[in-house]
Amino acid sequence: MIRSGTPVITSVEDLRVLAKRRVPRMFYDYADSGSWTESTYRANSDDFERIKFRQRVAVNLENRTLESMMAGQKVAMPVALAPTGLTGMQHADGEILAARAAEKFGVPFTLSTMSICSIEDIAAHTRQPFWFQLYVMRDRGFIRQLIERARIARCSALVLTLDLQVPGQRHKDIRNGLSAPPRLTLPNLLNMMTKPRWCHGMLGTSRRNLGNILGHASGVSDTASLAHWAARQFDPTLCWADIEWIKQQWGGTLIIKGILDAEDARLAVQHGADAVIVSNHGGRQLDGAPSSIAALPAIVEAVGEQVEVHMDGGIRSGQDVIKALALGAKGVYLGRAFLYGLGAMGEAGVSQCLEIIRKELDLTMAFCGVTDVQKVNSGILLPGTFG
């Protein structure tokens, strides 16, 4: 629907449609795709649809609150922005804009190692601590440097991703010739020319490369050396002993991301995790793995009394958020949802995404007869539709 030339946004889906119009194909597809047949990517959303609510009535619904805690931090609602690579290619200075929107809203922002804007860029444009996501590279000296830069930037949690030792086969990225950093092929350049809003923004910024790596990693001084470095640095030898070493180097709150198995969740706790994120990397790694929401209950049962269990994957609405909370998650992460907002309308789009999620979460909680989000449990769900 269009009113006075401005799209009327009522849902995250509206933001997705607008982002698809405004973001170059190679970057939109990078965000909105999975690996192989994309079965796990689809399951992340489809499995939420099967879970049904118990509607309750005649409950005093005044004074509702969504305030909660995630990883020891007070949040306006139990939602964080997930670490997403190449965010600054969805919209110029994308990580800065998303971090500002999250800060204003009162939820955590997580910066990816593979971001366009650097750790220092985010620190310079925000007042509150943010979280930093770490990939383990072969160059351990660079890892130590990243951790120290995150500490200097006042990051309050380190999110360690374990499920990208080897990359998944993502057919859309292969067809689009996407790489890190992105290569500008003729088809991609021609498609960019059809996105004038995006082009205007990118011409107005100097941030177009992997800001945490270029000029920081040893021997990486230009785009060519950066591409060579990125292609060979993800460490396939990563093991649990490395997690202990990273915990020692960091010394603060450590959140381990990429857990789909209860045994791995127990190992994460044994090796220093303060929280774990149930995640299949948005369906971008092992196609055929379970959806995050399907894997969540067993992991909550295994470690939920010892550490916080968070989850990501398939969150497109406030109803998805409350379903995850009902199944034991203490917080969830928005990835594609906030990227749609960013690609559609920049910082304002991220803010609108968060407001949509907040409203949907609040209303659904009310219909289920609950006034405090911290008291949400499986009792709000219809038996037989979950677990």
CA dist., res. 342 & res. 346, Å (int): 4
- In the numeric block, which tokens belong to residue 187? 């088809």
Which amino acid, 101?
A
pLDDT digits (tens, 9 = 90+) for 199-257: 999 999 999 999 999 999 999 988 888 888 888 899 999 999 999 999 999 999 999 99
Q: How far is CA 204 from the centre of its chain?
A: 26
Q: What is the CA radius of gyration of the chain?
A: 20
Q: Is the confidence at residue 121, as pLDDT, over 80?
A: yes
Q: Is the confidence at residue 3, as pLDDT, over 60?
A: no
| pTM of the full structure | 0.96
Q: How far is CA 366 from the centre of its chain?
A: 27
Q: Is the confidence at residue 36, as pLDDT, over 50?
A: yes
Given 125, 200, 228, 281, the catalytic residue: 281
- Under the banding of pLDDT at 50, 70 and 90, the label for residue 339 is very high
Which amino acid, 43?
A
Pairing of strands 2-3, 6-7: antiparallel
Q: Where is average pLDDT lowest: 41-50, 156-165, 172-181, 328-337? A: 172-181
Q: What is the mean pLDDT of residues 42-59?
A: 97
Q: Tell me what the pLDDT averaged over the chain comes to.
A: 95
- In the numeric block, which tokens belong to residue 265? 């969740």
281 classed as catalytic: yes
Q: What is the mean pLDDT of residues 342-354?
A: 98
Whether the CB-CB separation of 309 and 276 falls below 8 Å is answered with yes
Per-residue model confidence (pLDDT) at position 5: 63
Per-residue model confidence (pLDDT) at position 6: 67
Per-residue model confidence (pLDDT) at position 1: 42
Q: Is the confidence at residue 193, as pLDDT, over 50?
A: yes
**Domain ranges within the chain, ordered by starting residue:** 2-380
The strand pairing partners of 275, in sequence order, are: 255, 308
CA dist., res. 282 & res. 185, Å (int): 26
The CATH architecture annotation of domain 2-380 reads Alpha-Beta Barrel (3.20)
Which amino acid, 115?
S
3 state DSSP class of 318? helix
**What percent of the chain lies above the pLDDT cut of 90?**
90
Per-residue model confidence (pLDDT) at position 184: 82
Please report where in the chains the tokens 């092992």 appear, as a residue.
Answer: 286
- Under the banding of pLDDT at 50, 70 and 90, the label for residue 81 is very high
- Under the banding of pLDDT at 50, 70 and 90, the label for residue 2 is very low
pLDDT digits (tens, 9 = 90+) for 245-291: 999 999 999 999 999 999 999 999 999 999 999 999 999 999 999 99
Q: What is the mean pLDDT of residues 125-140?
A: 96
Q: What is the mean pLDDT of residues 343-365?
A: 98
Per-residue model confidence (pLDDT) at position 73: 96
Alpha helical stretches, state H, the chain: 12-22, 25-31, 39-49, 94-105, 119-125, 140-152, 171-176, 186-192, 196-203, 223-233, 240-250, 262-270, 292-303, 318-326, 336-367
Pairing of strands 110-111, 79-81: unpaired
Per-residue model confidence (pLDDT) at position 239: 95
